[in-house]
Structure 1
Amino acid sequence: MAFEQMFQKWNRSINLVAQSTSGDVWQRHILDSAQLGRIEPVATRWVDLGSGGGFPGLVMAFLLAERDGASIDLVESNRKKASFLQTVVGQFRLPARVVARRIDDSHALVSTPQVVTARALASLSTLLDLSAPWLTSGARGLFHKGRDYRAEVEESVHRWSFDLVEHPSVTDPHGVILELSNLRPV
């Protein structure tokens, strides 16, 4: 069974993504997630926070399978979604590990990554709080954001200092991928 078919089967029973977006899995979720491989073509240690339906984490795992020694940790606290992630990882023998914990309980379980990702999880300020243990240790953040991303950046600079590169989304004319590095508390 191909990934997209497996995703649709599980999505019907456990709502991996909103039903309103499940009809266009390829464009809306898979290609949107795959953009990260273009932005960061060489990193081998990744962590995806709030992996849920596998976007971008599982998509990156498929892409990382082509990189020697690469792996991604998929952090997901919802047991049903973690079970879906583990099933896909096992069936396709992906270089991924499912960490079925809350994000704030996962820091000690995840080796320092080079890249931290999240998509449709939380505001930028909250993402920075959750990923600070890794981002303040040299990892870079790649976060999918929508049309209101500038307001989220403005809110975040009151607590955090960081270098920022805005990458226009190739799948959403209003979306961006925010690349953050050198995170420091203000």
Structure 2
Amino acid sequence: MIVAQSENIYGAAEFQAETGVSRETLARLELYAELLIKWNQAINLVGPATLPDLWRRHMLDSAQLLRLLPEKPDLSVADLGSGAGFPGLVLALCGVGELHLVEADQKKATFLRQVLRETGATAEIHCCRIEALGDLQVDLVTARALAPLSDLVTYAAPLLKADGCCLFLKGRGVEDELTLLPKTLQDRCIRVPSRSDPSGCILRLEGPLP
């Protein structure tokens, strides 16, 4: 299936201009986009209505985390509920260090493996529930459209190093979700405006987590 794009739709060229990714990285992301569109016909990876604006709604939404990454050598990242690969697979394709993509759904995990094979990107796929990750410890935990903020903090707590941080992509309901966190955690959450969704934001939460 080919998704038609009008001239004013945000596409790969606009994405590259805004993010500054290399031509090699853009080529890998374009291959990823092709695979996503193909596989989406068989399994529910993203809402079909979002595909015409794929490069803004999904690619840019994920890639905007690049400028917020902790400045650590050999950065390790756990992307929870990776699903179609946002944001974790985009970060892997952009060359971010040690990526762990956590996805319990076997079909979605198979899709992630296929993208890695065809693009040559490197990441470890954990096809399991988050609670079954064992002793994995990372510098950064990411998540997008997975669960309420209070649940994300619970999931991230055993995985995050004491000096690590979380980057959670959130939509318009973020303020309601924040009220369910302890006040001490609310005060530590930094809201970064989203570059892809005027009603959304990125929540940055520094460790350690309770």
Counterparts in 2 of 1:160 and 1:104: CA distance versus 1, 3 Å: farther
State the secondary structure of the residue aligned to 2:52. helix
Q: Is the 8 A contact 1:161 1:183 kept in 2?
A: no
1:93 equivalent among 115, 120, 129: 120
TM-superposed CA distance for 1:183, in Å, is 3.9
Q: % of aligned pairs identical?
A: 40
Q: Distance in 1 between matches of 2:71 and 2:140?
A: 10
Counterparts in 2 of 1:117 and 1:162: CA distance versus 1, 3 Å: farther
TM-superposed CA distance for 1:158, in Å, is 6.0
2:48 equivalent among 9, 14, 19: 19
Q: Is the 8 A contact 1:57 1:72 kept in 2?
A: yes
Give the count of matched residue pairs.
179
TM-superposed CA distance for 1:161, in Å, is 6.6
For the aligned residues, what is the CA RMSD?
A: 1.9
Q: Distance in 1 between matches of 2:185 and 2:161?
A: 10
Say yes or no: does 1:5 pair with 2:34.
yes
Say yes or no: does 1:151 pair with 2:151.
no
Q: Distance in 2 between matches of 1:175 and 1:73?
A: 25
Say yes or no: does 1:71 pair with 2:102.
no
Q: Give the structure 2 partner of residue 140 of structure 1.
A: 165
TM-superposed CA distance for 1:71, in Å, is 1.5
| Unmatched runs of 5 consecutive residues or more in structure 2 | 1-29
Q: Give the structure 2 partner of residue 129 of structure 1.
A: 154
Counterparts in 2 of 1:84 and 1:150: CA distance versus 1, 3 Å: same
Structure 1 segment 54-65 matched on structure 2, within 5 A: 54-64=85-95
Say yes or no: does 1:84 pair with 2:111.
yes
Deviant stretches of 4+, over 4 Å: 158-162
Say yes or no: does 1:164 pair with 2:195.
no
- TM (norm. structure 2) is 0.79
Structure 1 segment 172-183 matched on structure 2, within 5 A: 172-183=197-208
Q: Distance in 2 between matches of 1:3 and 1:106?
A: 26
1:41-62: CA deviation from partner (whole Å, max 9, x where unpaired): 6342111000000000110001
- TM (norm. structure 1) is 0.89
